[in-house]
């Protein structure tokens, strides 16, 4: 994917076409479908704003909160949203979504606005190789929701192995039984995909949610059908909320059009 270079002017539609790659990521079409009926969204681990650009294509989207601990990545996201004239819908939070607020933790990554950053060194090859990190402040999604007096309709989470830590900071949100979570689940040498999934399923049980394996559009209650994956996407829904019918028509990695 090519991005806007310094001192290079491009029209917004050209920039959009460069950030949204010709080969879609696994979850882009699912996110696009979910955002069609969303008023408020949290984009946790927003990186350069690709998911936010997809979400802001929905005319119903009122507000999107972009949350990323790397201020250099967040500044690129802001630039991309400005170039596409959707920055008015965005609030940018340069903190690490976590299970508690106000802590200072290490973010492992290469120097710069790179992807692959993680609060767990084992989950980022670049951080492990370079030994580079910087300190970031944490915030829970519950505190963020309280500060702005909102409950998000959708929370997208892509945090390189810290999925459960983010969920543990969103218990009050979950108790409202309104929010849908779209999560990219990761694994590494120190945490298998089965262990990470089990922790997510336990969170679901404790907070009256049910999980769905998006690749197969099926209920996820144990780990046998995902144990072969290095990463996968899961949809968490409140206890009384049905799986969206429109998602059943969308395959993993479908093009946005």
CA distances from 181 to 153, 170, 243, 256 (A): 9, 10, 12, 20
Q: Are 2 and 18 in contact (CB under 8 A)?
A: yes
Model pLDDT, residue 126 = 60
- In terms of DSSP bridges, do strands 209-213 and 232-238 run parallel, antiparallel, or are they unpaired? antiparallel
Model pLDDT, residue 115 = 59
Decide which of 211 and 6 is more confident.
211
User: Strands, DSSP E only, in the chain?
Assistant: 40-44, 63-67, 90-93, 96-97, 104-108, 133-139, 154-157, 180-185, 209-213, 218-220, 232-238
- Least confident piece of the model among 11-15, 199-203, 223-227, 249-253: 11-15
- In terms of DSSP bridges, do strands 180-185 and 154-157 run parallel, antiparallel, or are they unpaired? parallel
The C-alpha atoms of residue 230 and residue 52 are separated, in whole angstroms, by: 25
**Across 68-83, average pLDDT:** 92
pLDDT digits (tens, 9 = 90+) for 136-152: 899 999 999 999 999 99
Cross-strand bridge partners of residue 228:
none
Tokens of 166: 């983010």
Average pLDDT of the chain, as a whole number: 86
Residue 23 has pLDDT above 80, yes or no: no
**Across 177-204, average pLDDT:** 93
Model pLDDT, residue 4 = 40
Q: Are 80 and 49 in contact (CB under 8 A)?
A: yes
Q: Is 47 exposed, middle or buried (0-12, 13-18, 19+ CB in 10 A)?
A: buried
Q: What is the 3-state secondary structure (H, E, C) of 143-195?
A: HHHHHHCCCCCEEEECCCCCHHHHHHCCHHHHHCCCCEEEEEECCECCECHHH
């Amino acid at each position: 994917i090519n991005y806007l270079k310094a001192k290079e002017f491009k029209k917004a539609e050209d920039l959009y076409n460069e950030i949204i790659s010709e080969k879609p990521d696994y979850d882009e079409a699912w996110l696009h479908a979910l955002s069609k009926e969303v008023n408020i969204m949290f984009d946790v681990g927003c990186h350069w704003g690709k998911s936010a650009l997809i979400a802001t294509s929905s005319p119903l989207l009122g507000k999107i909160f972009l949350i990323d601990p790397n201020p250099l990545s967040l500044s690129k996201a802001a630039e991309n949203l400005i170039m596409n004239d959707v920055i008015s819908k965005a609030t940018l939070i340069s903190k690490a979504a976590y299970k508690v607020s106000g802590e200072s933790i290490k973010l492992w990554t290469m120097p710069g606005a790179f992807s692959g950053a993680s609060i767990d060194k084992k989950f980022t090859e670049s951080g492990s190789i370079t030994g580079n990190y910087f300190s970031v402040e944490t915030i829970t999604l519950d505190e963020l929701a309280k500060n702005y007096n909102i409950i998000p309709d959708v929370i997208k989470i892509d945090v390189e192995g810290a999925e459960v830590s983010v969920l543990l900071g969103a218990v009050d949100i979950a108790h409202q039984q309104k929010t849908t979570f779209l999560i990219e689940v990761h694994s590494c040498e120190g945490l298998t995909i089965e262990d990470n999934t089990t922790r997510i399923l336990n969170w679901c049980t404790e907070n009256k949610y049910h999980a769905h394996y998006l690749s197969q559009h099926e209920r996820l209650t144990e780990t046998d059908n995902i144990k072969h994956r290095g990463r996968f996407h899961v949809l968490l829904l409140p206890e009384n909320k049905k799986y969206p019918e429109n998602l059943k028509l969308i395959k993993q990695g479908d093009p946005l059009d």
